Structure 1
């Protein structure tokens, strides 16, 4: 019993000594608390499945909002009613009973034809002009104020000028496409030429290359990404403008078809036309994106 009491007394004296002399106390190591892992966690869902589900959820949300609007407005068609009308409409999209009564397929083709002609003319004029403006400082100073003045003008403001000059609705619509498509091509091409590294031009001067070789061997490969960006911007603007121009000029076209359906108070057909316009515009843009990827070369890091 006395031995136990002596041991306890020694322990108490040792603890008191440590309290009076902290330096002699043994170091105590406190293990850090484990922190929650907040790093980038990989989703358990495969990426290809996410690329499918995410757009479908977006479309489902759009349809839900559409259904809510239709429930609160009796004049607005429901998604189901619009789908039924679309199935009837696309069952025979290329019928033709009269010049003013044609299927939606013919109207889309008529609009695409106008866009193709106006856009092609704009490319033939705008891209070479952009090369010259970017290449020669005098031309840049000469055309710069003109472009700055005319570029902000709405394309539809040019439609009366086209009707006055061409005396016909179809050339006037093509003129509107041309005038709205040419500015992105000129500006992006000119900027691309001006951003070609000066070292390339110095090498061309040392080698005494002709202007044609400078354009084809140096400028064109360097400017191609800028030029294709201008083409993409131009085709999107052209498709927007043709719908509005056809509403004003009439005839055959998706824009005139929308306006005609509005006069008939056929709201489901108007919604179908809106979807068709969006899908066609998306396909045109994706086509040009694929073209840009095919002709654009990226630097690969070693």
Structure 2
């Protein structure tokens, strides 16, 4: 088992190294950092950013906006998903609205949000609106996949609806909710960064991305992109770890 873990780590390292080499080859071929900076210049920019206090303040604010929008979408998505999953009339009422939200282009939502909210609240609203349909849909799917025989047994033994919702529907929908949360978390980082680029709130990764583009500091642009990638992976792995801890406690 130990050897397998070591081999897996080496494998992941070699895969990352392979793509960095491919990146370096393309950078050498293009030979213009304004289009594609080399890995060396990108990591040099990243190194400078990591030794700047402003970088960590920026990461803190962007993380707050991302997670706040994500958590609101989880809470409301699960609550509304439960009610819509067990009540067909509520589902028919909310389904068109959620379908519209799901199909609206992200850029349209960002522009509308800029008109409606302060610049610092725009990313939160956009993250919420993009993640909510995922959580809502997964919750409903989980409830609809509840074992019919189990529900029939509950009916025979006159188990109250509250206990059915808490015990039967909850555990049926839980794997779907977890899957939806993981998907939504990854999307929330993308849409929050996009919203920050347009709304330009103070202390935001998006504003640094925008400045890098305006001043043609492309290595910085790539460095901030790597930071977003790292944060997304970090929080996704943290969420998976929390799910595993919760499963082990059960």
Query: Given the two structures, how large is their TM-score scaled by the length of structure 1?
Result: 0.75
Q: 2:46 aligns with which of 80, 86, 92?
A: 86
Residue 215 of structure 1, CA deviation? 1.3
Shift of 1:288: 1.9
Q: Helix, strand or coil: the match of 2:121?
A: helix
Q: What per-residue deviation string (whole Å, max 9, x for no partner) do you get for residues 118-145 of structure 1? A: 1121122110110111111222222223
CA distance in 2, matches of 1:276, 1:173: 18
Q: Distance in 1 between matches of 2:100 and 2:225?
A: 32
Alignment-derived partner of residue 74 in structure 1: 32
Supply the distance in 2 between the matched residues of 1:173 and 1:49 (Cα, whole angstroms): 40
- How far residue 83 of structure 1 moved from its aligned partner, in angstroms, is 2.6
Moved more, 143-152 or 237-246: 143-152
Which SS does the other structure have where 1:170 is aligned? Answer: coil
Verify: 1:108 aligned to 2:59, yes or no: yes
Distance in structure 2 (CA, Å) of the matches to 1:129 and 1:47:
43
Q: How far, CA to CA, are the matches of 2:72 and 2:41 in structure 1?
A: 41
Q: C-alpha separation between the residues in 1 aligned to 2:45 and 2:98?
A: 45
Provide the residue aligned with 1:191 in structure 2. Answer: 141
Q: Which residue of 2 aligns with 1:42?
A: none
CA RMSD of aligned residues (A): 1.8
Does 135-144 or 183-192 show the bigger shift?
Answer: 135-144
**Structure 1 residues 84 and 162: alpha-carbon distance in aligned structure 2, compared to 1, 3 A threshold:** closer
CA apart distance, 1:241: 0.1
Structure with the largest fraction of helix = 2
1:130 aligns with 2:84: no
Residue 188 (structure 1) shift: 0.3
Of the three residues 156, 175, 184, the one matched with 1:225 is 175
Give yes or no for the alignment of 1:215 onto 2:176.
no
Q: Pick from 216, 223, 238: which aligns with 2:188? A: 238
Aligned to 1:154: 105
Contact 1:134 1:190 in 2 (8 A): yes
Structure 2: runs of 5 or more not aligned: none
Instruction: Return the index of the structure with the highest Cα Rg.
Output: 1
Q: Which of 54, 64, 78 matches 2:11?
A: 54
Ranked by relative contact order (alpha carbons within 8 Å, sequence separation 6 or more), the top structure is 2
Cα displacement (A) at 1:262: 1.8
CA deviation profile, 1:179-226 (whole Å, cap 9, x unmatched): 101001000000100110012211222232222211112111221111
Alignment CA distance shift 1:71-1:192 (3 Å): same
Determine helix, strand or coil for the equivalent of 2:158: coil
Q: 5+ residue gaps in structure 1?
A: 1-45, 95-102, 298-302
Q: Note if 1:276 corresponds to 2:227.
A: yes
Alpha-carbon distance in 2 for matches of 1:56, 1:200: 47
Give the Cα separation in 1 of the matches to 2:140 and 2:98.
12
1:80 CA displacement: 2.5
Give the CA deviation at 1:289. 1.8
